[in-house]
Amino acid sequence: MSVHETRPGSGRYEVRYREGKRNRSRTFTTRRAAERFDTKQAEQRERGEPILRPGRTPYLDDFMADWLKDREREGIALNTRLFNASTYDKHVGPYVGPLRVGELTPRRLEEWRSELLAAGTTPYMFNRALELMGQLLTVAKRRELIAVNGARDLVRLKHKTATGLVATPEQVEAIRAHFIDAEDLANATLVSVLAYVGLRTDEAWQVRWDNLNARRFDLEAEQTKTETPRDPEIPAPVLADLARHRLASGVAEGLIFARANGGEWTKTARDNWRNRKFNPAAEAAGLPPEFTAYDLRHTCASLMLRAGIPPVEVAAHMGHGLDVLQRTYAHVIKDMRGKPPRPVAVEITAARRGDVRNSFGAAAG
């Protein structure tokens, strides 16, 4: 941007500036007015206000939808895209989705932050929402819709690293009993796989019968959250559960935990399963309202650590790094010191027999 006299002695002054990808100019009758306009344009850029007029930028809801399509074309994992969509639907869209990208100034983003915290959003989820907003506005800046990514200046909130709620084998068996009483063998078996093999829920919904290889699941890269193949071992009691489920379903191929109507496990279907199936079963087992199906995998990691399996092997089995294992299960590692190891299969069998002598501690956060 710059101020020029249109021609010598004309007494008219022109300001040249850039709006998006277009060069523009505006004429003034005094130099002072032209310089004021020039200064205002520079200040707007520094504050991150839109390069384009707000009305010429897309709505954030539409921008997000296009961004997700781009992510799919780029080969980003389905689970990552589902998490992005869920975060947007809960923490971004309801607050600023109807606004245009050009209206997301630093001041408006500060207001969004305050609105989220006032609504009870946890520091962890705010940070995830902020990360998503930052990604969206980075793309907007690259496309010259805005001058500065205002999300980059918002301070991330400190939060304690979650250790995870751990269900005892007895509580896991109470969840299974709820499904067995309802003659729902498929979900009873799913609980076994989540709690005793340690699959993530999204991984379990993708596992097929041809992934079952002797005593292991041979998971392919596209079936795992980290997009890394792994082959978690299956305890003998869970192998028996899978065999009974296979016999009862009469299906020997395809998804092990297929939907009853044969459809895909969409986000809506997964949410419905949690709300209509799992949550009532967990409540009946005496678990707190914040306990999730994902938390069942903490039982698996805890059982393996209590069995004396080296942490590096437990981390590989669970599909994450050793640092994550040590950070998440530090309380379990500390608690098991000095206790004799007991095989995972023995713990499961003891819980199913109602043997109160098993060494597993009470549920903890």
User: What are the structural domain ranges in the chain?
Assistant: 2-47, 60-153, 169-353
Same fold: 60-153 with 169-353: no
Pairing of strands 22-28, 212-213: unpaired
Question: Could you report the per-residue pLDDT of 99-141, keeping only the tens digit for each?
Answer: 999 899 888 999 999 999 999 888 888 999 999 999 999 999 8
User: Which residue shows structure tokens 């050009």?
Assistant: 102
151: DSSP letter: G
Q: Residue 336: what pLDDT? A: 62
What is 60-153's CATH number?
1.10.150.130
173: DSSP letter: H
Alpha-carbon dihedral angle through residues 352, 358, 362, 365, given to the nearest 10 degrees? -90
Low-confidence ranges of the chain (pLDDT < 50): 1, 356-365
Q: Residue 364: what pLDDT? A: 34
* Fold topology of 169-353: hpI Integrase; Chain A (1.10.443)
Contact 154, 130 (CB under 8 A): yes
Q: How far apart are the first and last CA of the chain?
A: 57
Q: Residue 221: what pLDDT? A: 86
| Distance between CA atoms of residues 287 and 125, nearest Å | 23
Q: What are the distances in angstroms from CA 224 to CA 232, 242, 304?
A: 12, 20, 20
**Phi, psi dihedrals of residue 347, rounded to the nearest 5°:** -60, -45
